[in-house]
Structure 1
């Protein structure tokens, strides 16, 4: 394990961590879901390293170890994670693993934003994990009150009090900048999420240029990424060969997976399945 710094095009420094097995044959970029710091993926990264990979995890700007001291004053917008941070992490991985084929595991928004990466063509395959549109009306009815409370009560109150989204008991993720929350809320109230914005306000982007195969793993107890919203996200990559795999907790031998459980202890058989697909010739 080695800590490194990935430097984004605008100079922002992103703490990252490399995990390397003996004589690695593939390089794996792991991109985080919103609110999940890089440490959350450490067990997964170590497992892939044991399978013969060099793996890089990193913290998106404003989150985890990339959080500035004054988060309330931070100027950024959500898609900066895809335009600036993920490309910098990919460049750092390529520098650490010269000559190795590069593949990508995107959790949640890590899959959403692969099409913002100007260097996406360096990636041979994308494994999406719990990647589905955030549009709230396509989520289970029982989950809607939780979402609406976050968007319209907790979030605004947290911004008013702290100037950012405070992590803790009600929002269990890491602290988030205002510039993440505001566009995220806007997209999650749009039936097309951000898809129709790609031709206008979210230019430049490269979604239509992505041709690397995508396989998307969806879990039946995930209230956000379900078969409908997972398929919606694959549509924003119109020229990438893609398929969607649905798994149940019982089929994985665990009581719960949800939106984040694919990276928790006990999911090693799934990790092997993902890695085998990423590295097949």
Structure 2
């Protein structure tokens, strides 16, 4: 049981949207860590790893994107929230909050899945010293594991279409275990996930202005051999969006951590805690023990 207890925070994005986060402060911290969630994952999902990182000597901020968890309004049905808003508005605000709460500490970034997609939309991305990407890749179904694609087709065009028509949002029904998603978030995610280059086609249109080629903070990625989504190919295409950032990769199997399964989200669960020391070492000191440059 962790001795670090989170402090809840509320703060505003540039457009006035109220966001909610949790701040974990360890003893004699030497690094500040922002934790950016995967799609549909509330900040509480990351509480065990956040508390561990704080105990090692960090100030850690977890947060909910707008429309998720504590950062949603009474109803998200038919709201105008779109996926790029998380990167263009929410993530920059969290960096500013973390900078204020941990002055003089280097700011680093721990990203899960979609949390690694939007550095290039952040006007203040250059405040980040290093990035740890866990299970980060594109959502393109053609680059995912073959056995997973039928379920994805059902999700995009069966469950998703029905839920939007019936509820005006993606509800946690029919196999979707994440938080409810605003309709435009789901539709943009679906559109990108049917393109081999994912969102890069939109760099000069709906994602402009963007700064992907200006991101130079190093990215170290962890992929997991039993993850059907963040496969090496899907990861490679996503990292192509950051052409000027130094990159390295560690591939980990469940056997390496003495667990039965890691998958797309298991790295943040307590049974995978042996991985967390390596992540902290990278974020705090820039040290790589098993990373391969690419």
TM-score, with length taken from structure 2: 0.94
Q: How does 1:125-136 map to 2 (within 5 A)?
A: 125-136=130-141
State the partner residue of 2:21: 16
Aligned twin of 2:125: 120
Deviation, 1:204, is 1.0
1:220 aligns with 2:225: yes
Secondary structure of the structure 2 residue equivalent to 1:167: coil
1:155 matches 2:175: no
Paired with 2:150 and 2:41, the residues of 1 have a C-alpha distance of 22
Residues 1:81 and 2:89 are matched in the alignment = no
1:262 aligns with 2:267: yes
Which consecutive aligned stretches of 4+ in structure 1 deviate over 4 angstroms post-superposition? none
Residue 169 of structure 1: CA displacement? 5.1
| Preserved CA contact (<8 Å) 2:67 2:76 | yes
- Deviation track 1:32-81 (CA, whole Å, cap 9, x = no partner) reads 00010000000000000000000000000001111211211421211100
Within the candidate set 96, 99, 102, 2:104 is matched to 99
- Of residues 62-71 and 100-109 in structure 1, the stretch that sits farther from structure 2 once superposed is 62-71
**1:71 and 2:76 correspond:** yes
Asked whether 1:28 is paired with 2:11, we answer: no
* Cα distance between partner residues in 2 of 1:82 and 1:237: 15
- Offset from partner CA, 1:3-37 (integer Å, 9 cap, x none): 11131000001010000001211100000000100
TM-score normalised by the chain length of structure 1: 0.98
Tell me the residue number matched to 1:177.
182
1:181-206 Cα offsets, whole Å, 9 max, x none, are 01100000011101222133311111
RMSD over aligned Cα atoms: 1.0
2:252 maps to which residue? 247
Aligned to 1:167: 172
- Aligned partner of residue 270 in structure 2, secondary structure: coil
- Residue 109 of structure 1 corresponds to 114
Unaligned runs of 5+ in 2: 1-5, 287-294
